[in-house]
Structure 1
Amino acid sequence: MNKKLVSLLLIAVLSLGVLTGCSSKEESKEADTNTEKVTAEAVDTKTVFVTPEWVQSVIDGNQKESEKYIVGEVSWGTYKDSPSYTKGHIPGAIHINTDSVEEGPVWNLVSPEKMEKGILDNGITKDTTVILYGDDISATSRVAFAYLWAGVDNVKVLNGGIKAWEKAGYKTETEVVEAKKAEDFGTKIPAHPEYQLSIEDAKDKLENDDNFKLVSIRSKDEFLGKTSGYSYINKAAEPKGAVWGHAGTDPYNMNDYLNEDGTCINMDQMKELWSDCDFTTDNELSFYCGTGWRACVPWLICYENGMTNMTVFDGGWNEWQMDDSNPVQVGDPASDDCVYTTVGELSNDKAAK
């Protein structure tokens, strides 16, 4: 074969390779352009627990909420303290520290001034749709409750958290996202003080309102006074007159309120859970726990189902046990073995080990 013919064949092969490469790039670019955006059915403003598909549809611009929203992963501490944020979070999600909504030593919600600062620092105003998730449904619910109390109109919780997100096949990222501060929240905080019950009002209602039920969202051992549930609380009991509303097997989970896949139970499931309890949804309910986290879970379920006869007793057992004169019960109030006394008479050896 002469050299001229060989040269012509080489040129032809190379040209075909170039054309094929260009074609592949164009097809790839076209595929990226034609990637289908996720759509999902719209949900009501008061709906709290949402699916991964709905959240992705917001990110993809297919919901009315897409115009102004923030996704936040919730945990205690900075993003560096988070067990998952730097390993992989929802694209664009900021990290939200629970300390921005509560403070010790009681661990009640912070003052309106501090709440406003924390919210604005996270780039949130009253008309921002806030989508929250986290490894701990109690921590996530705590922030969701605080934001609703403050006056954010539309607060969502990704049902099932990051595990549900990843199971649905959606991507995560590890880049730290910094919030862009907002200037004006848009209303006076708290816009909904009626969501929260003070210790003074809790005492008054326990004494004078037969329809009122103070509902302990704590483990059975905490309710019975076997442990305080907390390493920094030495006394164990419950406010006199409290009733049990389930929680989990220990102070660090809410398993009774979660399905096997980690999603929250719905209203019908919660009513079934409460079927052995000394209250119904016809009562005025105030949920409490040790320091406010777990109590917010059933409150949110009630809230999204249109109930209005419920509050969170923010101080919980922690605030109650700070006053030696407060009346308490130790044991099951439905039994003859229940002991009624005062905080000051309790032993100081019931801190969680």
Structure 2
Amino acid sequence: MSSALAISMLSGCAKNEEKSDKKAESKYETVTTDDLKSALKDEKAVVLDARLNDAYNGWAIDGAKRGGHIPGAKDFSASWINCEYDDKENLEGETREEVLKEAIENKGISADKKVIVYDTNGKDAIEVANYLTEKGIKNIYTYDANEWINDESLDMESYPNYKMLVPASVVKEITDGKVPEGFTKSKDIKIVDVRWGDNKESGYLDGHVPKAVHINTDSFEPPKEYVKGIEEWRLADDQTLVKLLLDSGIKAGDCVISTSPEPMAASRFAVICKYLGVEDVRVMSSGLVGWNQAGYELSKEDIKPVAEKEFGVEVPANPDWIDTIEEVKEQLNTPDYTLVDNRTKEEFIGKETGYSYHKIAGRIEGAVFGYAGKKNSSSVSYYRNIDKSMRNADEIKAMWDECKIDTNKRLAFMCGSGWRAAEILWYSKVMGLDKTTLYSDGWIRWSNEGNPYVTGEPGK
């Protein structure tokens, strides 16, 4: 794991004050449902969902009767405006204003368009509308989405597997002993906190989701010399991974909720759990940003797991979740397989390695560039919103279309050593893509073992 990611996981900003439940006073005209329907068909109009991305993805939260978003609506969450974010200490070196300016452009919001912003609490839409007004957007209206949601004749759109990303509010209910009805078929729910380092150096003892057992990332990818003179952090063998889960109190029939200050780490462990055969695995969305923004308390208790003796299934029960280097070599040039390289463009073309401990720059010939972060090898900013929630699926698909990535094929996501690609794989599953996998060992193993590679822009 890179030092930059470790810093990102250990650092945090001050907790935002909990928002008032009172509805905000509006200076914007409210539109009707018929007005909204017309706007959804109008190229000179943009409809924005100002709620948490968890609601947009599919969760019925904050009292809403149905989850998901109005079909055709784009997302611009009020959370993005006031979430924890350090303008100076972040992986991409971008201010909040720079990040949100790009979001405005990506969603086609401009001064010449009619903009309708909706929510269900009477606050979020006004907060977003006020922000956009400050940016020169004048033709703004609001809409109470409860009118649409409560009308069963009107469709709502959710991601096929939105439940794989769990809102902080739902995790809070679970930690309070109030498991939402129908949340899982599993008898036991296990919460983990995934970070690099032991309980103390990782920051776990400084604050974690209550009841979460600490998982040191070195326990599933221990540093080891695989190639003479070169230390790597490859994924451990299956038996070591199973022992880690058992020692952590996890068996195949459990529901595991993976949390972390860094969604990348939570996703990395979640993929391992699915690969081995845990039936129900979730990732808490937004890292700890959403948890802190809601005003929930973190625990400093050192939770000791009760070890299990039997995992319950033969491992790996789901081998298709992770491709070996041999499987990549075998499938790389076949027509129904695409190796997606989720690194920075500089790493992809061989201008830099991305890692202080790795010296070889380049890419696997035949791999297709698929975005991750802009500048930093620990970033997946192209796949996230500023509050560390998942970027909306339409924008992710648009990136893949630009890269000529065909989602009908089997997609194997890779990066340097599996971290960035694991988060992107998780989002692909949320989107309903069932033929996606992780090439876990990534560029570092490929290049260290002397396999062929290329540099430069493809086709040049």
Q: Count matched residues.
A: 295
Does the alignment pair 1:192 with 2:318? Answer: yes
Change in 2 beyond 3 A, CA 1:256/1:215: same
Gaps of 5+ in 1: 1-37, 337-353
Which secondary structure state, in structure 1, belongs to the residue aligned with residue 214 of structure 2?
A: strand
Amino acid at match of 2:165: F
Give 2:395's aligned residue. Answer: 269
Aligned pair partner of 2:340 in 191, 203, 215: 215
Does the alignment pair 1:55 with 2:171? Answer: yes
CA shift at 1:230, angstroms?
1.1
Which secondary structure state, in structure 2, belongs to the residue aligned with residue 47 of structure 1?
A: helix
Give 2:208's aligned residue. Answer: 89
Change in 2 beyond 3 A, CA 1:45/1:278: closer
Q: How does 1:245-284 map to 2 (within 5 A)?
A: 245-249=370-374, 250-284=376-410
Give 2:29's aligned residue. Answer: none
Does the alignment pair 1:178 with 2:295? Answer: no
Which secondary structure state, in structure 1, belongs to the residue aligned with residue 340 of structure 2?
A: strand
Does the alignment pair 1:231 with 2:356? Answer: yes
Q: How does 1:134-173 map to 2 (within 5 A)?
A: 134-173=260-299
CA shift at 1:67, angstroms?
4.5
Aligned pair partner of 2:413 in 277, 280, 287: 287
Gaps of 5+ in 2: 1-61, 68-157, 225-231
Structure 2 distance, partners of 1:54, 1:221, is 39
Does the alignment pair 1:117 with 2:238? Answer: no
Structure 2 distance, partners of 1:308, 1:56, is 29
CA shift at 1:39, angstroms?
8.6
* Contact persistence 1:216–1:246 (CA under 8 A): yes
CA shift at 1:104, angstroms?
3.8
Aligned pair partner of 2:193 in 73, 80, 92: 73
CA shift at 1:212, angstroms?
1.6
Partner deviation per Cα, 1:98-135 (whole Å, 9 max, x = no partner): 12322344533222211111001111111211111212
Which secondary structure state, in structure 1, belongs to the residue aligned with residue 243 of structure 2?
A: helix
Structure 1 distance, partners of 2:162, 2:253, is 13
**Higher helix fraction: Structure 1 or Structure 2?**
1
Partner deviation per Cα, 1:178-214 (whole Å, 9 max, x = no partner): 111112111111111111112122122223x123211
Amino acid at match of 1:57: E
TM-score, structure 2 normalization: 0.60
Partner deviation per Cα, 1:130-180 (whole Å, 9 max, x = no partner): 111212222211101001001111111111121210111222221211111
Deviates more, 1:94-103 or 1:117-126: 94-103
TM-score, structure 1 normalization: 0.78
Partner deviation per Cα, 1:300-347 (whole Å, 9 max, x = no partner): 1122333222211122101111233x221101214x2xxxxxxxxxxx
Amino acid at match of 2:233: W
**Percent identity of the aligned residues?**
33
Structure 2 distance, partners of 1:173, 1:203, is 45
Deviates more, 1:100-109 or 1:270-279: 100-109
